[in-house]
């Protein structure tokens, strides 16, 4: 009997998606392994720290090179080197939890990274060297920006960081207002870059901007909104994150794979209004689900504690879920939840919830919905760490949230944010009634009340009502043919 008989449709689709990802993996030539994956740097990094158990984390698109890279490193070091398979969350995040399950004392992360800060293990970032034509990139840049006096910020995907110095050298002679960003690598981590890995050692003059794992300096007289953004890389979550963060700037992009440059025509205002709709849904919600989308990013627990406190002060209920990689089937099991809030890295937090049964918002959007001191502005925050005390976008939660009543833009009904005082109601007390002469219905505040309000709550137990009978002899044989069926056939 085929084992696929026991697979659910969801499992089959997940496996089919994984197979598609593996097919896109292009094997690197054996002679280029050392250069592309910086094998010598990896060996030196391990030996300098005398590491004995090192985890190598590969994304799906680089998994076909995992064996030769691991073999090359393990032959040159005394300690043990092992491969981390599929990560619990996004492959752009360092999976420290999985590494600690194998008692690793160091981790090397290969491929694209969101550059989120970690705190448990020493980390080495190896972004690889994605193929790019510097001459073609320069030509497309000049076509998009014929006026050399334009102020421009150069951003790039981590895999193309090896070519940035050459591109900068080719352009900065003519474009005097060109600003090149550097990758913001955490202090306790290292990277395969030379001269760009640690932003804290750079001494620049001007206005410093650090967003989305990138840092750049603008002249003191410069204004960020006047700059155009030129991004080198393919369409990815990185580009989406940058466009949402710098939503007042015009974006241009160059795709090294197709060697095409274009002006991004995505309507950011429409995307922001879609996120505003999610905020309105969060304001209407009574029961919120906090979904943990990372276990490795610094301060994720502090953010969850802050969200739970804020939700409680706003008069709502919250539940916390740890479900690993998200999919609609998992979250559909919690129908009592009105809105989910995803605590994840900046790139994975902007999840398109159109395939899910309930809306999914970010911590920043939930703060706008529940924190009466925070207002909706043109600024958009994807990194939840900036919401904490000491962060750039921190707004303190009042000890007692002021009770606010307004009209929902989604349902058109009145709603209240904040905890109202309980009023003692006796049998002789007067209750307010609406225009239909009906007493207002109080919504369910807990999952238990929601369950009690359902028309069907599962099979009735009927304790003490079912008669106890002795065990009887059942059918014999297998499903293909029971003994009584064979006798009948003869």
Per-residue pLDDT tens for 86-116?
Answer: 677 888 889 888 898 889 999 999 999 989 8
Check: pTM over 0.85? Answer yes or no: no
pLDDT tier at 335, thresholds 50, 70, 90: confident
Burial call 401-436: b when 16+ CB within 10 Å, e when fewer: beeeeeeeeeeeeebebbeeeeeeeeeeeeeeeeee
Query: What does the block give as tokens for 452?
Result: 């009690």
Judge contact between 44 and 126, C-beta under 8 A: no
Question: Which position has the higher pLDDT, 193 or 45?
Answer: 45
As a whole number of angstroms, the distance between CA 480 and CA 118 comes to 56
Residue 227's nearest CA partner among 258, 197, 206 is: 206
What is the arithmetic mean of pLDDT over 440-453?
57
Q: What does the pLDDT look like over 114-145, one tens digit per residue?
A: 898 888 899 999 998 889 999 999 999 999 99
> According to the model, what pLDDT value does residue 481 have?
81
Query: What does the block give as tokens for 146?
Result: 């014929």
Q: What is the 3-state secondary structure (H, E, C) of 60-101?
A: HHHHHHHHHHHHHHHCCCCCEEEEECCCCCCCCCCCHHHHHH
> According to the model, what pLDDT value does residue 23 have?
44
Q: How many CB atoms lie within 10 A of CB 239?
A: 20
> According to the model, what pLDDT value does residue 421 have?
57
Residue 181's nearest CA partner among 245, 147, 131, 230 is: 230
Q: How many CB atoms lie within 10 A of CB 22?
A: 11
Q: What does the pLDDT look like over 270-298, one tens digit per residue?
A: 888 888 899 999 999 999 999 998 888 88
Residue 40's nearest CA partner among 66, 94, 67, 77 is: 77
Q: What is the dihedral of CA 324, 330, 334, 340, to 10 degrees?
A: 60
> What is the radius of gyration, based on Cα positions, of the chain?
28
Sign of CA dihedral 451, 456, 457, 461: positive
Residue 278's nearest CA partner among 359, 377, 354 is: 359
Segment of 255-259, 373-377, 463-467 carrying the highest mean pLDDT: 255-259
pLDDT tier at 58, thresholds 50, 70, 90: very high
From its phi and psi, is residue 75 left (phi > 0), alpha (psi between -120 and 50) or beta?
alpha
Q: What is the dihedral of CA 97, 103, 105, 107, to 10 degrees?
A: -50
CA 74 to chain CA centroid, Å, is 32
> According to the model, what pLDDT value does residue 250 have?
93
What percent of the chain shows pLDDT beyond 90?
42
> According to the model, what pLDDT value does residue 18 have?
40
Residue 307's nearest CA partner among 293, 327, 328, 325 is: 293
- Domains of the chain listed by start with CATH number: 32-126 (3.40.50.11840), 134-189+200-264 (3.40.50.11850), 270-417 (3.40.50.11860)
Judge contact between 455 and 327, C-beta under 8 A: no
Segment of 93-97, 341-345, 404-408 carrying the highest mean pLDDT: 341-345
């Amino acid at each position: 009997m085929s084992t696929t008989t026991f697979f659910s449709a969801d499992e089959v689709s997940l496996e089919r998606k994984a197979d598609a990802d593996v097919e896109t993996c292009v094997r690197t030539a054996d002679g280029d392994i050392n250069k592309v994956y910086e094998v010598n740097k990896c060996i030196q990094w391990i030996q300098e720290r005398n590491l004995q158990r090192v985890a190598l984390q590969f994304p799906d698109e680089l998994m076909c090179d995992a064996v030769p890279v691991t073999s090359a490193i393990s032959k040159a070091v005394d300690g043990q080197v092992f491969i981390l398979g599929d990560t619990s969350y996004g492959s752009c995040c360092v999976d420290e939890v999985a590494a600690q399950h194998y008692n690793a004392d160091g981790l090397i992360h290969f491929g694209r990274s969101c550059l989120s800060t970690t705190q448990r293990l020493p980390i080495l970032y190896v972004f690889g060297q994605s193929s790019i034509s510097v001459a073609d990139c320069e030509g497309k840049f000049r076509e998009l920006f014929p006026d050399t006096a334009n102020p421009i910020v150069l951003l790039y995907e981590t895999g193309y960081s090896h070519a940035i110095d050459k591109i900068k050298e080719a352009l900065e002679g003519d474009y005097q207002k060109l600003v090149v960003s550097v990758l913001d690598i955490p202090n306790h981590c290292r990277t395969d870059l030379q001269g760009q890995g640690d932003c804290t050692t750079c001494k620049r003059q001007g206005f410093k901007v650090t967003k989305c794992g990138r840092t750049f300096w603008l002249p003191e007289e410069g204004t960020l909104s006047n700059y155009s953004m030129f991004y080198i890389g393919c369409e990815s979550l990185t580009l989406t994150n940058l466009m949402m963060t710098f939503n007042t700037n015009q974006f241009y992009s160059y795709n090294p794979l197709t060697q095409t440059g274009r002006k991004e025509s995505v309507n950011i205002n429409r995307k922001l209004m879609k996120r505003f709709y999610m905020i309105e849904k969060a304001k209407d919600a009574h029961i919120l689900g906090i979904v943990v989308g990372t276990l490795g990013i610094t301060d994720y627990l502090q953010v969850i504690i802050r969200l739970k406190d804020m939700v409680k002060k706003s008069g709502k209920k919250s539940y916390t879920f740890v479900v690993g990689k998200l999919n609609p089937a998992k979250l559909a099991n919690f129908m009592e939840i009105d809105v989910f809030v995803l605590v994840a890295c900046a790139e994975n937090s902007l999840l398109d919830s159109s395939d899910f049964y309930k809306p999914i918002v970010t911590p920043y959007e939930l703060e706008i919905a529940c924190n009466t001191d925070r207002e909706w502005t043109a600024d958009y925050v994807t990194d939840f760490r900036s919401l904490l005390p000491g962060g750039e976008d921190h707004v303190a939660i009042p000890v007692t949230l002021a009770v606010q009543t307004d009209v929902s833009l989604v349902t058109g009904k009145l709603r209240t944010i904040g905890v109202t005082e309980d009023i003692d109601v006796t049998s002789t007390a007067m209750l307010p009634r609406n225009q239909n002469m009906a007493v207002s219905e109080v919504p369910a505040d807990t999952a238990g009340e929601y369950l009690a309000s359902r028309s069907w709550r599962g099979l009735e137990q009927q304790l003490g009502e079912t008669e106890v009978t002795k065990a009887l002899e059942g059918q014999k044989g297998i499903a293909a043919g029971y003994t009584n069926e064979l006798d009948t056939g003869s």
